[in-house]
Each structure stands twice: as structure tokens, then as C-alpha cells.
Amino acid sequence: MKFSSFLFPEAASPDRDHAVIQESLAEAKLCDELGFDVVWLAEHHFDGNCAYVDPVSFAAALATCTSRIQIGFAVAQMSLHHPIRMAEQMSLIDNMTNGRLIVGLGRGTAYNIYDYQGYGLDPAEAQDRLIEAEEIMIRSWTEENLEYRGRFWDLKLPRLRPTPFTKPHPFILRAASGEESMVELARQGRPFMMNVQSLDVTRARLDLYRRTMQEAGFDAAHIARCMEDVWVWRNVYVARTDAEAEQIAVPAFQAQQEQRARMRNRFAEEQGVRMKHEAAPAARTKTEHALFAGSPETVAARLQQIADLGVGGVILQFRLGPMSWADTERSIRLFAEKVAPAVRKRSTT
């Protein structure tokens, strides 16, 4: 099973922006040095819940200060991006990293209406924009003299440059926050990223995912390849003891949930508007499901339960809310030194 770091750093006030951005660069470099497989980048706007805001710009920065780790998006909010501009940027970063890019795409936030308001977009269009944008990006990477007429974009271009380093194009991975979108990806024979869910829900969805692909006619080899590229998200904190980990991580996790809701609640009070699907999955806000906090042995045991489900990798958010960089760094080092080797050893025996 692959292990990765999810850079989703909070800067609760503007005067923290610079420090947290610099610390996020340090986290990515540390994970590169320690042998993590991927560093994932988020995209959220206007509220400080993701300090660097723009994953494309930040990915380009990481391309120059890392050498081995893959750089992925979890996810780029495609309703906010022009597909040709995005395709150019992805192709450039793919060249800069010699193919270390994972283009993780999603429709856009299901929680924060101000992300759409700030860009002057209707959130009801987000899913359709994602589907159209993905098609345009793939065609622009693989076709010359592209002409496209769609609902949102009418385009004509001779050839996209630079051409991708990865042939025929960078690897694309979709997020599936709900069961319905996961089933649709299974019917297409595509891997996916799953958000935080309970172990039981994760197991049930993966069983449904495999079964749907089988019913759609995909053979065992294809299903196995897809499972290698399925990722699930969990928050994690490793300390010397369970008590120490819980003392640091639980208050930080709870503060993180409060911060992430603060701006949307303020907008709801001021404007009287909320997103249709604003409520986060219950598991995402509950420590018993979302947070693996404990000693190396405890965290390894929790992760082994995920490994036993057959997923390809875990997206691990180490820095939780107002947690300090010093605490985060200690957790990451303990994970790399104690937890990852234990899980990998058991998985190969």
C-alpha cells in the first residue's frame, strides 16, 4: 500500500499565510526525503482553510524543490478552471517533474458557496463543467487542430504546447465523494479517490466498486489495476504513546472542523444561502472514523485495516488545523520510521 501526505494547511488569520505556506513547502520536501509516494494538494478559496489556495502554482513550486515524490491534486476544482489553460499548466508541470504528476479532478466544493461566488459561477453547473473540461483537456493533449463546441466552451487551437512528457497524457484521477459518482467511475473502469468514511462504509463501497466493474465487463486484471490506483483519505497523528497523540491531535482535529465551518456559517447568516449538499459526511467530522491518532503500533494497526481492504494507497493529512509545524514534523518522521515499515512488512508476509 502506498502512503502519501495531504497538504491541506490551515492559516486561520491572514498574518499566518506566509509562515504556513513556507512550512508547507518544508513538509513536501520532508516527505520527498522520507520516501512518501505522493504529496497531494487541495484547492479552497477565500477562507484560509488551504493557505496556498492555488494547487497549480504550488505544484509548480514543488516541482522545483522535490526530486522523487509524485505531485497530485486532491482535487483541482475544475469548475473554477479554463480547461485549455489547465491543460497547458498540467503539461508544463508534467515536463518539469519528468512525469511525476497526478491530475486529480473534481467538480468543485460541495460545501463552500463563496468559492463559486468569488469566481462568478453557478454551483449547479459544477458537475457538467467538470465533465466537459476533462474531455477538452484530454483531446487537447492528444489531438492537433482541435475544434470543440460545447455548453460552456467554444474552442479552436492548432496544437497545445508544451506537449505532455507522459504519453499520451498525464494520469487523470477523479474524486468520488458519493456512492453514485463512484459507481459511474466503476462503470467506466476508472480508479477514484474516496473521501473520509467509516471503515464499514469504505469496505462496502469498495465491494460495490469491484462488483460494478465486473458487471460492466472488466476482467480481473483490469479491476486489480484500478484498485492499485484507488486512494482513501484519513487524518493521522503519530506520537510515542496513545495518550500523547490524543492530547495533541484531538483538540487540533476538533478545531479544524470548527474552522472549516466558520466561514460558510457566516455566509449563511449574512446571505441566507447554503449549498444544497453542504453537510459533510458524518464520518469526516468524527474522530473515531476520521482520525488515526496514537503510538506507531496503534496507527499501524488502524492502517492495516485499510490495507486489508485492498486499496492502493492512503491519503494522510498530518497537519490538523492549528497544529504547529514542530508537532507535524515529529509525527511525519515517526510515521516514516515506524508505521510505514510495519504496515509494508505485514502486507508482504
Domain ranges of the chain: 2-347
Predicted local distance difference test score (pLDDT) of residue 347? 73
- Tell me what pLDDT residue 281 has: 61
Band of residue 87 on the pLDDT scale cut at 50, 70, 90: very high
CA dihedral defined by 191, 195, 201, 206, rounded to 10 degrees? 10
| Mean of pLDDT values over 280-302 | 91
pLDDT in tens, 32-46: 999 999 999 999 999
Q: Picking from 16-30, 179-193, 198-212, 279-293, which range would have the lowest pLDDT averaged per residue? A: 279-293
pLDDT, average across residues 166-193: 97
Q: What are the CB-based long-range contacts (under 8 Å, 24+) for 227-230?
A: 227/191, 227/310, 227/311, 227/312, 228/191, 228/312, 229/171, 229/173, 229/191, 229/312, 229/313, 230/191, 230/192, 230/193, 230/194, 230/206, 230/311, 230/312, 230/313
- Position 334 pLDDT exceeds 90: yes
- pLDDT at position 280 is 57
**pLDDT reading at 279 higher than 80:** no
CA 148-153-155 angle, 5° bins: 40
Across residues 173-199, what is the average pLDDT? 96
pLDDT tens for 124-166 read: 999 999 999 999 999 999 999 999 999 999 999 999 999 999 9
3-state DSSP assignment of residue 212: helix
pLDDT of 235 reads 98
Kindly report the number of other CB atoms within 10 A of residue 106's CB atom: 25
Q: Which of 25, 115, 110, 108 is nearest to 71 (CA)?
A: 25
Q: pTM for the whole thing?
A: 0.97
What is the reported pLDDT for 283? 85
Residue 102 in this model has a pLDDT that exceeds 90: yes
Phi/psi for 297 (5° steps) reads -65, -40
Gyration radius (Cα) of the chain, Å: 20
Which band of pLDDT confidence, cut at 50, 70 and 90, is reported for residue 346? confident
Of 343, 244, 243, 246, nearest to 292 by C-alpha is 246
For 198, counting Cβ atoms within 10 Å of its Cβ (0-12 exposed, 13-18 middle, 19+ buried), the class is middle
pLDDT beyond 90 at 275: no
Average pLDDT of the chain to the nearest whole number: 96
Confidence of residue 278 (pLDDT cuts 50, 70, 90): low
Cell 515517526 identifies what position?
Answer: 334
C-alpha cell at 58: 504550488
Percent of the chain whose predicted confidence (pLDDT) is above 70:
98
Is residue 226 within 8 A of residue 193, CB to CB? The reply is: no
Our CA angle for 310, 316, 319, nearest 5°, is 170
Inform me whether the pLDDT recorded for 326 exceeds 90. Answer: yes
Q: What are phi and psi of 109, to 5 degrees?
A: -60, 145
Topology adopted by domain 2-347? TIM Barrel (3.20.20)
**168 preceded by a cis bond (ω within 30 of 0):** yes
- Assign 291 to helix, strand or coil: strand
192-244: pLDDT as tens digits: 999 999 999 999 999 999 999 999 999 999 999 999 999 999 999 999 999 99
3-state secondary structure 69-102: CEEEECCEEHHHCCHHHHHHHHHHHHHHCCCCEE
